[in-house]
């Protein structure tokens, strides 16, 4: 059995604040589910890359077993062709780990997106433009 894709679902208090971050990176809304006055769930996509967000109140109703697990921590690790260009597109993001080169050959930067999750952008030498 082969895994065909991996898509994170990030749980946040409100979805709307994270949208400009991903839209600045070229992601578009692929699907939305309302929850009360705002969004309860959204799928954002760019090419074959997807990220999903679900609001805590929506999780409570939709998948209460997950809700009972408590707060989550996660890091999204995205491979990109131009890490410095990507970082420049989201200048308002809090830098958690400044631009660095790793022993495993990645040029990386870690930022906090508006929902509080850490997003790592990594460029590998063979992927440079």
Rounded to an integer, what distance in angstroms lies between the CA atom of residue 12 and that of residue 21?
A: 14
Please tell me what DSSP assigns to residue 13.
Answer: S
Alpha-carbon distances, residue 92 vs 87, 101, 102, 111 (angstroms): 10, 22, 24, 10
Q: Mind listing the pLDDT tens digit for each residue in 62-115?
A: 877 777 766 666 778 888 999 999 999 988 899 998 999 998 888 999 998 898
117-124 mean pLDDT? 88
| pLDDT at position 47 | 93
Pair 78, 119: CB distance under 8 Å: yes
- Does the domain formed by 73-129 have CATH 3.30.720.110? yes
pTM: 0.77
Pair 109, 87: CB distance under 8 Å: yes
Q: Mind listing the pLDDT tens digit for each residue in 35-47?
A: 999 999 999 999 9
Residues of the chain with CATH 3.10.180.10: 1-72
Question: pLDDT at residue 15 above 80?
Answer: yes
- Does the domain formed by 1-72 have CATH 3.10.180.10? yes
Residues of the chain with CATH 3.30.720.110: 73-129
Alpha-carbon distances, residue 116 vs 15, 20, 50, 65, 104 (angstroms): 11, 14, 18, 22, 27
């Amino acid at each position: 059995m082969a895994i065909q894709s991996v898509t994170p679902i990030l749980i946040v208090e409100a979805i709307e604040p994270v949208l400009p971050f991903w839209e600045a990176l070229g992601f578009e809304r692929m699907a939305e589910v309302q929850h009360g006055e705002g969004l309860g769930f959204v799928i954002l996509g760019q090419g074959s890359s997807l990220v999903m967000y679900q609001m805590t109140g929506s999780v409570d109703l939709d998948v209460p077993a997950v809700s009972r697990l408590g707060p989550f921590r996660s890091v999204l690790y995205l491979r990109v062709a131009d890490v410095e260009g990507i970082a420049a597109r989201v200048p308002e993001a809090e830098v958690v780990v400044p631009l660095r080169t790793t022993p495993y050959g990645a040029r990386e930067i870690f930022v906090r997106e508006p929902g509080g999750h850490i997003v790592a952008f990594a460029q590998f030498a063979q992927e440079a433009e």
